[in-house]
Structure 1
């Protein structure tokens, strides 16, 4: 087992990508501290994954002291901490016209500042275990869609932090920091989000080739499979890396001439 007896905190792990990473980590022998915002989803996830090597903490990640409580719970329960996965995120539509200071600050607080604070809280224990930080970003970090301004800014900040700490922390604390930037993933909330944009219930069954050359978008389990590599010892000393997980190039790509679909709507 690639993660045997490793203790891992995964934020935002009661649904979507975080839940898939938790499931994959458990199957590889890890002990996982689940975290989420909704107690009902947390209980359902705990029931699905089992209680033998899992624990659940329900709290807003931006609440003062939440990172310390997550780390403290892991240490109290299992006596060590080997990795943290910063997955919790606020995915909201916005543009230059409707993004004000309060809105942008909230998105940054969840998507950029909370991950920083969890790293800082976990660092003494990760240093002892020569552990790992894995940040879950987004391909929108590179520039982002027109209607995802605040979200894209926050993921860009997270990516810069990954590269900065990924260079510094291996030298000062023996801790590696890397990041996965998922592309378009078929999570439960993405299904709902697109329906709210006016698409049908089965919108994901007919995706234009421009966005899904394979005929479908990514599954959470495919992101989780990549996450296991970065959490496992097999990734060796690699640090400060950001890996885009999408099915087409993000830069220098020539969009099909006959495409008129706007990703923000579709």
Structure 2
């Protein structure tokens, strides 16, 4: 059991990638604080993951005092914290025309500032356990899609924070900080978002090879499998690293001449 008896806070874990990480962590012996926005989804997740392995907190991660509440609940329930996974994020469309100061500030609060505050709140306990921080970013951190401006900015900030704290905290607090940047992942909400954008019910079954050379996009369980490595002791002293999890290189790739083809066939 690679995470036996470890206590892990996973934000945004009632659905999608966060829920998959919580499930994988529990299967490896961990106890997980499950966090999200919707109580019904949270209660459902607790039932699926097992009440004996979890505790639930429902609140906007950017709400005043939420990071401190997560830390307090984990300590009250299990007496320690071994790792935190900053997964909660607001994925919202915007471009330069629709991104104002208040809107950008809100996206940064959820996607960049709240993760920082959770790290800061948990740091005294992570220092004791010589723990781990795993930030869940996005390949959009490198530049982003045209309609994901604010989101991309926030993930770029998260990536810089990971590299900065990943250099400092091992020396000052014996805490490692790393990040994984998922590419295109088939979460429940991604299915809904693309349908709202006008795509068909089964849009994910026929994706152009330019975007999915393998013929499909990533599954949450595949991101979770990678997360376990960074949360486990087997990743050793590695810190300050950002790993992209996508099925093609992000820069200098050889895209198909006809992006409408799938595996080279119209």
Q: Name the TM-score, length of structure 2 as normaliser.
A: 0.97
Q: Work out whether residues 183 and 245 of structure 2, in 8 Å CA contact, stay in contact via their aligned partners in 1.
A: yes
Contact 2:86 2:115 in 1 (8 A): yes
1:126-161: CA deviations, max 9, x gaps? 000000000000000000011100000000000000
Corresponding residue for 1:226? 226
Residues 65-104 of structure 1 aligned to structure 2 (within 5 Å): 65-104=65-104
Deviation at 1:260, TM superposition (A): 6.0
Q: Give the superposed CA RMSD.
A: 0.8
CA–CA separation in structure 2 for the residues paired with 1:128 and 1:216: 42
Contact 2:209–2:259 (CA under 8 A) maintained in structure 1: no
Within a 5 Å distance, the mapping from 1:174-193 to structure 2 comes to 174-193=174-193
1:196 CA displacement: 0.4
Q: Deviations over 1:196-245 (max 9, x none)?
A: 00001100000111111111000000000000000000000000000000
Q: Give runs of aligned pairs for residues 64-213 of structure 1, distance below 5 A.
A: 64-213=64-213
Where structure 1 has 5 or more consecutive residues not aligned to the other structure, the ranges are 262-266
The ranges of structure 1 where at least 4 consecutive aligned residues each deviate by more than 6 angstroms after the TM superposition are none
User: What's the CA shift string for 1:50-106, capped at 9, x where partnerless?
Assistant: 101111000110111111110000001101000000000000011011110111001
Aligned to 1:255: 255
- SS of 1:17's equivalent? helix
Shift of 1:257: 1.9
Q: Normalised by the size of structure 1, how large is the TM-score?
A: 0.97
* Cα distance in 1 between the residues matched to 2:153 and 2:125: 30
Instruction: Tell me which residue corresponds to 2:19.
Output: 19
Residue 264 (structure 2) aligns with = none
Q: How far did 1:254 drift? A: 2.6
Number of residue pairs matched? 261
The structural deviation recorded for 1:49 is 1.0
In 2, distance between residues paired with 1:253 and 1:213?
A: 11
Deviations 1:152-190 (A, max 9, x none): 000000000000000000000000000000000000000
